[in-house]
Amino acid sequence: MKQQSRLNGWSHGSPPAAAGAAGSRAAASAESGREAFDVLVVGGGINGAGIARDLAGRGQRVLLAEKDDLAQHTSSSSTKMIHGGIRYLEYYEFSLVRKALAEREVLLRSAPHIIRPLRLVMPHEPSMRPVWMMRIGLFLYDHLARREVLPGSETVDLRRGPIGAALQPRYRKGFAYSDGWVDDARLVVLNAVDAAERGAEVLTRWRCVDARRAGAQWQVRLEGPGGASRQVGARALVNAAGPWASQFLREHAHVPDPKSLRLVKGSHIVVPRLYEHDHAYVLQSPDRRIIFVIPYEGEFTLIGTTDVEHRGPVGQARIDDGEIAYLCEQAGRYLRKSITPADVVWSYAGVRPLLEDEASDASAVTRDYQLDLDTRGAPLLTVWGGKMTTFRKLAEEAADLLAAPLGVSAGAWTRGAFLPGGDLSAWIGAPQRPDTDIQRFAQALALRHGEIPAPLVHRLARGYGSRAEALLADGLGEAVAPGLHEAELRHLHEQEWARSADDVLWRRTKLGLHLSEAQRAAVADWCAAHWNEDAAPAARAPQSLGRTETTWN
Ligand SMILES: Cc1cc2nc3c(=O)[nH]c(=O)nc-3n(C[C@H](O)[C@H](O)[C@H](O)COP(=O)(O)OP(=O)(O)OC[C@H]3O[C@@H](n4cnc5c(N)ncnc54)[C@H](O)[C@@H]3O)c2cc1C
């Protein structure tokens, strides 16, 4: 089934106009008898979705193909920090830390609904890093990049107040600093929505199985649900297959001896809320690693991560008993409440696709990315490594690299652009501070929808931002499970490519955590009954909600 998803452009602040490649596209299409795109992006994790968005905004005809669901792999398995990565200073990764620190406020402003400031407290453990080292590290962290929203670091007295009260009494002094927190899976989905609204076609559950150069084109075969297959041509191929990047080159793109990735599994556990306040803790463990303890989804606490070499099939990383015990033990060294494996209500594991840099310790392998552009024939751009935090910059650099071979004149545009739902100005006026803006928006939405219970309206405000209003346009509809109504399910299906209960419960929302097994089964039954057209070959593209986002600088 052929998809057509060129949707509305910007209503204000349009991105730069397309570079005129239409003639060469049409000619290539006529010659090959295939559908023709400027760029095929393989991989619907954060990097693929970010690159698709950036290139679509520069006027390129983009196809994004993801073999599973958007963000199904590494990009929904992160610690969800938008951070410079204070511990990377110890490895002298100043340029990575500076780049990531600078992105924090750019991302916060672009999506205040799904990204928020987070205050972190690191209790001082005298047997580990000395005070002078912590102070130098935090000074650098405060000053390596400009900050307007996030407060600087400070020393905290843990003998007083709720922050110290959640810790064992032997911790008397700590250091507080700020970073950002993101709903990682929604960040990916919103990039894909933005890409589609700028003309990209987004296919989920379509695998790229074969890609070959034929003159100035890539000829590509995609396989989709129910044995469907599609042949497409593209002037450039982007390999954003994350942990599969090397395997993709070898097995599907016929590139001999590609670079290798170091695959490092990281796992998290979720336990019932361990304390009442909203700060996170950064705990140093005797192996010099750092464990985050983060308030999560209101009723829970998230603890992670581990760093374990991963040797099995890439898509099958699972937390093991040793990792659960390790995380419980490390948290238990600091927190007043002890945690046992029996407390764990959910866990997840992902594989970091790290650039091999000969470091013996997995925690020491660089978290920076590398972009390789191969122009021996039709361009092939491969993304190696990366962090959630740097995805926008990575996507911008990828699009800049492809600009010359594709003849694109439009320049970088994402730095001041909102992600879908991020522009709250119609509700609260010009943006001020992302953290207070979202609160004012949630209050305004609650006022307009007094019929909806406050916790639900706040969840919708945080998940969908200004797009929540369109979701609610025809009312909530029937409740399929507590707090989950037909209107939201329809929105997730039509606008965000949700195709199964897991897509809804564990990625686009985290309602899976809040519902019982029977309630989750009711959602699965509803999805199966209403979305069975997905046995059909192609995933439908979202219908435009009517773009309302402006730019913020
Ligand atoms: C435990 C852990 C914690 C982390 N914490 C943080 C953090 O707090 N902050 C931060 O900034 N970063 C963090 N990261 C790093 C960040 O999550 C990753 O850098 C990022 O998610 C990688 O995204 P990606 O798009 O490259 O890969 P992925 O998200 O894995 O996406 C690649 C996609 O390609 C698809 N694919 C593969 N082959 C094909 C094919 N042939 N056809 C079609 N599709 C294909 C896959 O299905 C997959 O969905 C963490 C990572 C881990 C593992």
Distance from C-alpha of 543 to C-alpha of 360, rounded to nearest angstrom:
49
Q: Is 76 in the pocket of ligand 1 (CB under 6 A)?
A: no
**Which tokens sit at 422?**
């991020």
**Which tokens sit at 135?**
């102070």
Q: Read off the amino acid at residue 315.
A: G
* Domain spanning 425-535, CATH class: mainly alpha
Q: Is 310 in the pocket of ligand 1 (CB under 6 A)?
A: no
pLDDT for the residue numbered 162: 95
Question: How far from 245 is each of 381, 406, 461, CA to CA, in Å?
Answer: 11, 22, 35
Between the CA of 48 and the centroid of ligand 1 the distance, in Å, is 9
pLDDT for the residue numbered 35: 85
Residue whose CB lies within 8 A of the most ligand 1 atoms, among 244, 363, 371, for a mutation test: 244
Q: Is 330 in the pocket of ligand 1 (CB under 6 A)?
A: no
Between the CA of 353 and the centroid of ligand 1 the distance, in Å, is 7
Distance from C-alpha of 400 to C-alpha of 469, rounded to nearest angstrom:
35
Residue whose CB lies within 8 A of the most ligand 1 atoms, among 72, 75, 389, for a mutation test: 75
Residue whose CB lies within 8 A of the most ligand 1 atoms, among 83, 237, 387, 502, for a mutation test: 387
Q: Is 258 in the pocket of ligand 1 (CB under 6 A)?
A: no
- Over the chain, what is the mean pLDDT? 90
Q: In terms of C-beta density within 10 A (0-12 exposed, 13-18 middle, 19 or more buried), how is residue 451 classed? A: exposed
- Break the chain into its structural domains and give their ranges: 35-74+186-260+367-411, 116-182+262-355, 425-535
H, E, C per residue of 431-457: CCCHHHHHHHHHHHHHHHCCCCCHHHH
β-strand 380-385 against 229-239: which pairing, if any? parallel
Q: Is 327 in the pocket of ligand 1 (CB under 6 A)?
A: no
Residue whose CB lies within 8 A of the most ligand 1 atoms, among 63, 74, 82, for a mutation test: 74
Q: Could you please report the per-residue DSSP string of 35-100?
A: EEEEEEEE--SHHHHHHHHHHHHTT--EEEEESSSTT-SGGGSS--EE---GGGGGGT-HHHHHHH
Looking up tokens 């399929």, which residue turns up?
480
pTM: 0.92
Between the CA of 358 and the centroid of ligand 1 the distance, in Å, is 21
pLDDT for the residue numbered 287: 87
Distance from C-alpha of 462 to C-alpha of 2, rounded to nearest angstrom:
34
Nearest to 281 by CA among 267, 297, 269, 293: 293
Strand partners, 335: 167
Distance from C-alpha of 311 to C-alpha of 246, rounded to nearest angstrom:
14
| Nearest atom within ligand 1 for CA of residue 350 | 53
Going by the DSSP 8-state scheme, the letter that residue 505 receives in this structure is I
Distance from C-alpha of 373 to C-alpha of 380, rounded to nearest angstrom:
6
- For the stretch 239-261, pLDDT in tens is 999 999 999 999 999 998 889 88
Distance from C-alpha of 275 to C-alpha of 387, rounded to nearest angstrom:
29
Between the CA of 29 and the centroid of ligand 1 the distance, in Å, is 32
Q: Is 111 in the pocket of ligand 1 (CB under 6 A)?
A: no
Nearest to 391 by CA among 112, 12, 90, 71: 71
Between the CA of 28 and the centroid of ligand 1 the distance, in Å, is 33
pLDDT for the residue numbered 10: 23
Topology classification of domain 35-74+186-260+367-411: FAD/NAD(P)-binding domain (3.50.50)
CB 414 within 8 A of CB 395: yes
Between the CA of 42 and the centroid of ligand 1 the distance, in Å, is 12
Distance from C-alpha of 479 to C-alpha of 503, rounded to nearest angstrom:
18
Residue 9, C-beta contacts closer than 8 angstroms, at least 6 positions apart: 197, 198, 199, 547
Q: Read off the amino acid at residue 494.
A: E
Report which protein residue has its CA nearest ligand 1's atom 10. 388
Distance from C-alpha of 238 to C-alpha of 460, rounded to nearest angstrom:
34
Between the CA of 154 and the centroid of ligand 1 the distance, in Å, is 33
74: preceding bond cis by omega (within 30 degrees): no
Report which protein residue has its CA nearest ligand 1's atom 45. 43
Going by the DSSP 8-state scheme, the letter that residue 417 receives in this structure is B
Nearest to 286 by CA among 88, 83, 126, 92: 126
Distance from C-alpha of 7 to C-alpha of 546, rounded to nearest angstrom:
9
Residue whose CB lies within 8 A of the most ligand 1 atoms, among 69, 73, 204, 210, for a mutation test: 73
Distance from C-alpha of 118 to C-alpha of 251, rounded to nearest angstrom:
41
Q: Is 248 in the pocket of ligand 1 (CB under 6 A)?
A: yes
| Nearest atom within ligand 1 for CA of residue 43 | 34
Report which protein residue has its CA nearest ligand 1's atom 25. 45
Q: Is 239 in the pocket of ligand 1 (CB under 6 A)?
A: no
Q: Is 164 in the pocket of ligand 1 (CB under 6 A)?
A: no
Question: How far from 391 is each of 46, 68, 249, 527, 545, CA to CA, in Å?
Answer: 7, 20, 21, 31, 25
CB atoms under 10 Å from CB of 212, counted, come to 15
Between the CA of 452 and the centroid of ligand 1 the distance, in Å, is 36
β-strand 346-355 against 261-272: which pairing, if any? antiparallel
Element housing 254 (H / E): none
Between the CA of 45 and the centroid of ligand 1 the distance, in Å, is 5
Strand partners, 119: 178
pLDDT for the residue numbered 85: 82
**Which tokens sit at 308?**
């374990």
Q: What length does the chain have?
A: 553
94-110 helix and 434-448 helix, angle to the nearest 10 degrees:
20
- For the stretch 385-434, pLDDT in tens is 999 999 999 999 999 999 999 999 999 999 999 999 999 999 999 999 99
> What CATH number belongs to 116-182+262-355?
3.30.9.10
Between the CA of 387 and the centroid of ligand 1 the distance, in Å, is 8
CB 103 within 8 A of CB 415: no
Between the CA of 73 and the centroid of ligand 1 the distance, in Å, is 6
Q: Is 347 in the pocket of ligand 1 (CB under 6 A)?
A: no
Q: Is 271 in the pocket of ligand 1 (CB under 6 A)?
A: no
Q: Is 217 in the pocket of ligand 1 (CB under 6 A)?
A: no
**Sites in the chain below the pLDDT cut of 70:** 1-33, 358-365, 533-550, 552-553
CB 200 within 8 A of CB 149: no
Q: Which residues of 11-29 are buried (b: 16+ CB within 10 A; e: fewer)?
A: eeeebeebbebeebbeebb
pLDDT for the residue numbered 17: 34
Residue 38, C-beta contacts closer than 8 angstroms, at least 6 positions apart: 21, 25, 55, 60, 61, 62, 234, 235, 236, 406
Report which protein residue has its CA nearest ligand 1's atom 4. 78
